[in-house]
Amino acid sequence: MIIVLSGEGPTDLGLCTNALGRCTDGDFSVGPMTVVLEQMLEPRIGFSLRDCPDRLHYIGETALCSKAKALPHRLQPARSKKKGAETGYFFANAMALGVVAKELEVEVQDQAVAVLFRDCDGTRSAPAVLWGKKHSSMLDGFRYSQFDRGVPMLPKPTSESWLLCAAQAPSYQACDKLEALPGNEASANHPKNKLDAAFGHHKSREELCEWLDENRFDPDRAAAMPSFEAFRDRLDDVVRELLH
């Protein structure tokens, strides 16, 4: 099994250190969301992804968008005006990542699971159904690429809300309310600012990963957040099907 990842930046899934926007093995530095993913997968697959870095393949947001634009004409309807701008982007990203995952399966002769991370963001004035539309667009994009093992990782509003669920005191309490925090970074109540306050200072990517290693993330308790529950359930379904 290989894991094909696409994120937005260092503090979610991680980053490439080779300046190419696409990497594996020693050129990929994991972020906290990859640590969470690893902790969820390890009991199922029997090994740590960081102990087998060649099984992790990463493509950054910019490189993935370039891949989407370079796809054959038959895939171009994915960017049609029929899909709203707020959901067409997610559809195209998932479609392109599905294509990348299929190419890597042929290249390394192994089966892939693809995880597409994007923050939902949004403001309090954004429609409550927007998260659902974006999530459905990701699933539709994977299906359009004919890749069956795609997993949307779409925190509401951002990945810091998932981490805050575990970091707040008391931990894992009333976490569903964290999804109502504003996605506007200018707000004092943005999840990034709330997470910094919970720790008493700002933690870097490396520090967040170390904290998760010392404080293992509890996916079942975090599933009080619907956005995390959707990620957990889809990941479980995909891995179960692959292993069986």
Query: pLDDT tens across 219-237, in order?
Result: 999 999 999 999 999 999 9
CB atoms within 10 A of CB 12: 24
Q: Can you tell me whether residue 56 is helix, strand or coil?
A: strand
pLDDT number for residue 82: 47
Residues 6+ apart with CB under 8 A from 48: 38, 42
Least confident interval from 18-22, 85-89, 101-105, 149-153: 85-89
Residues 6+ apart with CB under 8 A from 60: 6, 7, 15, 16, 21, 22
pLDDT number for residue 116: 98
Which 8-state DSSP code applies to residue 189? T
Task: For tokens 């950054």, name the residue.
Answer: 60
Q: Can you tell me whether residue 23 is helix, strand or coil?
A: strand
> Beta strand 112-117 with 2-6: parallel, antiparallel or unpaired?
parallel
- 152, containing H or E segment: strand 150-153
Query: pLDDT tens across 192-219, in order?
Result: 999 999 999 999 999 999 999 999 999 9
In this predicted structure, the answer to whether residue 81 has a pLDDT above a threshold of 80 is no
> Beta strand 28-30 with 14-16: parallel, antiparallel or unpaired?
antiparallel
Query: pLDDT tens across 2-47, in order?
Result: 999 999 999 999 999 998 999 999 999 999 999 999 999 999 999 9
122 Rama class: left (phi>0) / alpha (psi -120 to 50) / beta = left
Least confident interval from 16-25, 79-88, 93-102: 79-88
Query: pLDDT tens across 113-131, in order?
Result: 999 999 987 555 456 688 9
pLDDT-derived band of residue 80, with 50, 70 and 90 as boundaries?
A: very low
Q: Encode burial over 62-85: b for 16+ CB neighbours within 10 A, e otherwise.
A: ebbbebbeebeeebeebbeeebee
Residues 174 and 149 sit within 8 Å (Cβ to Cβ)? no
Which 8-state DSSP code applies to residue 180? G
Gyration radius of the chain's alpha carbons: 17
